[in-house]
Amino acid sequence: MIARLRGVLVERSASAVVVECAGVGYEVHVSLTTLAVLPEPGTEVTLRVHTHAQENRVALFGFASELEREVFDRLITVKNVGPTTALGILSGAGELLDLLRAIAAGDAAKLVRIKGVGKKTADLLVVELREKAEWLLATIGAAGTGGAAGSAHSHGRGRGRTKVIDDVAFALVGLGWRQAEVDLVVARLEPAADATVETLLREALRAMARP
């Protein structure tokens, strides 16, 4: 099973690329997200790969980031979502964080707007992946994403907030929410004595998604 490819990008199309490794060209199906960050042909690239073997065909699906590969692996666990459908969801969703937020918030209506995702599939994505999406968002937020997250900490801790609440606010800003929205939501959180950043972040993400 091929899990990773490093070689020269020799061809690219709207949905696939060819990577040459030691004289062998591998066709790899990619999402628009990965395609957008790949360099021009003639440049060395590294792709994480999912190998999909069928009775008479082997197909490779490639990803420029570990996060995209992780989300893809989660998607294909959902009933009736195969690798091609999962890749289509990644392409149609745009930003990976937007896709994870929609699933975590149970926003099936937003998922239906992705080409190839019907109501039944959208509902299954929410039911089967909601907790996993929340976990991924919490993990990303706890690790920090730089940029906006860094600017959030530069303002210092919110007045009267505990450290755990401040860490939740930091994670939310790092995930792309506006500071004003974050401040309103975290102000309504009532953490128990043993509350963790992860559990409170899940609660906050659900609140952020409400109209």
Q: Write down all domains in the chain, each with its CATH number in brackets.
A: 4-63 (2.40.50.140), 66-143 (1.10.150.20), 148-209 (1.10.8.10)
pLDDT score, position 142 = 55
pLDDT score, position 118 = 94
Whether 49 shows a pLDDT value over 90: the answer reads yes
Both tokens assigned to 15? 């949905």
For β-strands 58-63 and 24-30, DSSP reports them as parallel
pLDDT score, position 30 = 96
Whether 145 shows a pLDDT value over 90: the answer reads no
Whole-model pTM above 0.75?
Answer: no
Question: What is the rounded CA–CA span in Å between residue 78 and residue 86?
Answer: 9
Q: How far is CA 160 from the centre of its chain?
A: 33
Which pLDDT tens digit goes with each residue over 94-122?
A: 788 889 989 998 999 999 999 889 999 99
Which pLDDT tens digit goes with each residue over 150-205?
A: 333 434 444 457 777 877 777 777 666 777 888 888 888 888 877 787 778 778 87
Which pLDDT tens digit goes with each residue over 24-47?
A: 999 999 999 899 889 899 999 999
Beta-carbon contacts of 186 under 8 Å, excluding residues fewer than 6 positions away, are 158, 161, 165, 168, 169, 172, 204
